[in-house]
Amino acid sequence: MENILSGNLIIIGGAEDKEGKKEILKRVCDSIDKEKDILVIATIATEYPKEVAAKYKEVFGNLNVRNIKVLDIAERCDAYEEGNVNIIRESALIFFTGGDQLRITSLIGGTPIYDELKEACNKGKFIVGTSAGASVMSDTMVVQGDDDDSPRKCTLKMSPGFGLIKGVIIDQHFAQRGRIGRLLAGIAQNPEILGIGIDENTGIIVNQTGTIEVIGEGAVYFIDGSTITYTNVSELHADEILSMHNVKLHVLTNGNKFDFIKKSPFEEEKINHEDNTKENI
């Protein structure tokens, strides 16, 4: 079976806490050796790279990460520079900030930076993305769709992503922007893939075995369309309300786990510490 997971991924729904307890960003930093490893802030998605980089450098520095570098790709030619490729090559963790996910794929897709990113995944390095940086992780990403509205047949704009995790669509700022309808529309069009909607200040940790752990203060919504028995999706009358039957929805919160291979939540087996020794009489 083709591998559906690459590397170790931390995928954040955006607006993660940077001022208070910083629980999610602490988990990010705890993934590496904070004294020795290099954490890279990739500002490719944003139109304000200097401001965004400065903020994250401050936060990660306060969380005791000693070696922080910034990868700023403003034009495609920057993605061919050996110095930028070396930043990825030397890193232990690459953190993609929010912004516009199409900026990321259009600026680095098919370049040496992209090839080095895939190699980093294959070596098990941590790839982290928040907001737009989350959407780009999957092989199919949401680019545009109506927020806070009922799902409609063909109103969702999608595009290829990085494919670091295959067979999913990831949407972010999920409950806060009412995006359940647009993710359902995506699943209706592609029922073989798994929809993952991630709330703000919430994330998932995905390892190479297919285990997904939810972290943060919100919820993560897993939409499984493999059991759909009927849908009216078609190109005809594209703006009509979508109808779909027997779609599965799982809602997970902090500490809950999901088996990506089986598409099912699970609880880890608890060890029985019962003392079986007999009492002395």
Residue 245: which H helix or E strand, with range?
strand 244-245
Sign of CA dihedral 31, 93, 70, 165: negative
| Residues forming beta bridges with residue 245, ordered by sequence position | 230
Residue 79 CA, distance from chain mean position: 22
d(CA 76, CA 94): 19
Residue 180: which H helix or E strand, with range?
helix 180-189
Check if 250 is active-site: no
Check if 243 is active-site: no
Sign of CA dihedral 115, 48, 56, 158: negative
Residue carrying structure tokens 């893939």: 193
d(CA 113, CA 116): 5
> Of these residues, 6, 31, 91, 131, which one is catalytic?
131
d(CA 168, CA 190): 9
Check if 131 is active-site: yes
Residue carrying structure tokens 């309808």: 181
Burial (0-12, 13-18, 19+ Cβ within 10 Å), 148:
exposed
> Of these residues, 6, 116, 138, 200, which one is catalytic?
200
Amino acid 279 reads E
> Of these residues, 6, 91, 138, 173, which one is catalytic?
173
d(CA 5, CA 138): 10
Angle between helix axes 82-90 and 112-122 (nearest 10 degrees) is 10
Confirm if 184 and 232 have CB atoms less than 8 A apart: no
Active site residues: 131, 173, 200
